């Protein structure tokens, strides 16, 4: 049986790697000239050396990313802990909270004596306790986070100064409006996992390029700079791909099974008009643009250098409240011996000095709401159709916050529906929660 995998993000790489492990004939298509998962790796020269860093900065723990961790273990990917300190301030204002232990409530002692910090931490602990109890009782899947917080009378100050800056600029990387619409059950589950005692944040020791190299080291045929222009189903039980090669030549190629691992909106545009059901499902998923800038402008950081954390949340009030997170890359990458500070700012609400910019990219993030939950269920149901030959996976295509974890899960679920035994299997998340 001949397989085509379209797209080389984490979902496509996982699917191709697992199929290759089962001895399948696999061709992996990527329109870029490099593998998509590591396409935005920043590489720059400073102080006589070349430095590499992932964009976006990627981290994970065992509870929230169990299947990703299993994949990395299978691949032999080395991991190292991330120094998880966080700071919170408003634009041009002083730091009002510094947490030494990431998402857990271990606060820098000097902030324990500030009433604002104490109130925020008390509200965080209360929300966690209420959330765990409500999850046990069952939270309706169509209840939004905004409605839940109002129903539970969660402090607006806590939401404005702590919860939304954390979620919008790190975990969910989306606007405050999109956070309001997020399913409350998804966010409560994330908060439970991220604040569990004993859980440490990790990153890969040698970056995403190392992960990519391990995933494509088998016999998968990797076809870079090769664009898929159209996907159609042939009457004789094959899937037809219109393939545009690097030199501009267009060919028609047929495969027994095709797994599309691009964004949902991109997958939609590839499908022939006759594939109405799949096009309808994919059209229900929507995306937000997320700018990420790597730079050296410290004006986007807290004003006092001795209060900098690894992750620095800066928020702004007003008619359209928002927050950005500036990752202090020197501290995130513990092996860097670079003396000059370098930052990676997600969703910048302030623009760094243009002369300080090393790299600027715009990422696309799936929007998660009640509408997308319906689309996800329809996509899962479509996988159960008999004699199916066209499949879809990606971070948008599995339940939860769209992260590397959901990309891996969606690939495993597609392989299971295909009857292909994955070297990973799905982790029993209930066993680790």
| Residue that the structure tokens 């997020």 belong to | 182
| pTM given for the model | 0.93
3-class state of residue 31 by DSSP: coil
Cα–Cα distance for residue pair 21/13, rounded to 1 Å: 12
Nearest to 351 by CA among 297, 395, 307: 297
Helices 404-418 & 66-75 angle (0-180, nearest 10): 80
Rounded to 10 degrees, the C-alpha dihedral 84/90/95/100 comes to: -20
Q: How far is 105 from 112, CA to CA, in rounded Å?
A: 11
Return the residue matching tokens 């090669």: 245
Answer yes or no: are the C-beta atoms of 358 and 364 closer than 8 Å. no
For residue 431, the SS3 value is helix
Three-class SS state of 312 = strand
Query: For each of the chain's 433 residues, which pLDDT tens digit applies?
Result: 899 999 999 999 999 999 999 999 999 999 999 999 999 999 999 999 999 999 999 999 888 899 999 999 999 999 999 998 999 999 888 888 888 764 444 455 565 556 777 788 888 889 989 999 999 999 998 999 999 999 999 999 999 999 999 999 888 999 999 999 999 999 999 888 776 666 788 999 999 999 999 999 988 999 999 999 999 998 777 999 999 998 889 999 999 999 999 999 999 999 999 999 999 999 999 999 999 999 999 999 998 898 899 999 999 988 889 999 999 999 999 889 999 999 999 999 999 999 999 999 999 999 999 999 999 999 999 999 988 999 999 999 999 999 999 999 999 999 999 998 877 777 654 433 3
Any residues with CB less than 8 A from the CB of 372 and at least 6 apart, and which? 284, 285, 286, 366, 396
Q: What is the pLDDT of residue 322?
A: 93
pLDDT of residue 427: 65
Angle at 54 between CA 159 and CA 217, to 5 degrees: 130
Asked whether the CA dihedral 408, 414, 417, 419 is positive or negative, the reply is negative
Report the half-sphere exposure of 122 (CA within 13 A, side-chain side). 9
Cβ-proximal residues to 87 (8 Å cutoff; 6+ apart), any chain? 95, 97, 98, 99, 302, 307, 308, 309, 311, 312, 313
Q: What CATH number matches the domain at 44-204+287-366, 3.90.660, 3.40.1710, 3.40.50, 3.10.290?
A: 3.90.660
CA 147, CA 139: separation in Å to the nearest integer? 12
Residue ranges of domains in the chain: 2-35+216-285+368-432, 44-204+287-366
Residues written for the chain: 433
Beta bridge partners of 80: 203
Q: According to the model, what pLDDT value does residue 429 have?
A: 46
Which CATH number is correct for 2-35+216-285+368-432, 3.30.2320.50, 3.40.1360.10, 3.40.30.10, 3.50.50.60?
3.50.50.60
The whole-number pLDDT of residue 118 equals 77
């Amino acid at each position: 049986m001949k397989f085509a995998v379209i797209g080389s993000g984490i979902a496509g790489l996982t699917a191709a790697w697992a199929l290759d492990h089962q001895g399948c004939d696999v061709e992996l298509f990527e329109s870029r000239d490099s593998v998509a998962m590591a396409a935005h790796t920043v590489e720059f020269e400073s102080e006589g050396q070349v430095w590499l860093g992932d964009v976006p900065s990627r981290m994970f723990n065992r509870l929230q990313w169990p299947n990703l961790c299993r994949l990395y273990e299978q691949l032999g990917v080395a991991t190292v802990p991330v120094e998880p300190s966080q700071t919170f301030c408003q634009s041009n204002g002083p730091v009002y909270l510094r947490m030494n232990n990431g998402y857990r409530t271990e606060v820098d002692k000097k902030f324990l004596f500030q009433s604002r910090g104490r109130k925020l931490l008390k509200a965080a602990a209360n929300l966690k306790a209420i959330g765990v109890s409500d999850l046990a009782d069952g939270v309706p899947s169509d209840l939004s986070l905004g409605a839940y917080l109002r129903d539970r009378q969660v402090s607006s100050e806590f939401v404005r100064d702590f919860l939304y800056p954390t979620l919008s600029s790190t975990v969910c990387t989306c606007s405050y409006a999109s956070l309001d619409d997020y399913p409350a059950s998804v966010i409560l589950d994330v908060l439970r996992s991220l604040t569990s005692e004993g859980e440490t944040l990790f990153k890969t020791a040698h970056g995403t390029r190392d992960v990519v190299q391990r995933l494509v080291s088998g016999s998968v045929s990797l076809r870079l700079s090769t664009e898929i222009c159209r996907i159609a189903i042939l009457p004789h039980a094959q899937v037809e791909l219109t393939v545009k090669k690097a030199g501009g030549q267009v060919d028609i190629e047929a495969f027994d099974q095709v797994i599309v691992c691009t964004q949902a909106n991109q997958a939609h545009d590839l499908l022939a008009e006759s594939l109405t059901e799949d096009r309808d499902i994919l059209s229900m998923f929507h995306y937000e643009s997320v700018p990420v800038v790597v730079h050296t402008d410290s004006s986007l950081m807290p004003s006092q250098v001795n209060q900098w954390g690894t992750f620095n949340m800066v928020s702004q009030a007003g008619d359209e409240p928002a927050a950005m997170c500036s990752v202090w890359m020197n501290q995130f990458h513990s092996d860097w011996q670079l003396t000059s500070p370098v930052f990676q700012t997600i969703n910048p609400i302030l623009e760094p000095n243009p002369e300080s910019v090393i790299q600027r990219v715009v990422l696309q993030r799936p929007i998660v709401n009640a509408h997308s939950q319906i689309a996800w269920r329809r996509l899962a149901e479509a996988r159960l159709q008999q004699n199916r030959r066209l499949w879809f996976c990606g971070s948008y295509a599995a339940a939860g916050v769209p992260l590397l974890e959901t990309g891996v899960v969606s690939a495993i679920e597609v392989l299971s529906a295909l009857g292909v035994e994955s070297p990973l299997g799905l982790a029993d998340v209930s066993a680790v929660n």
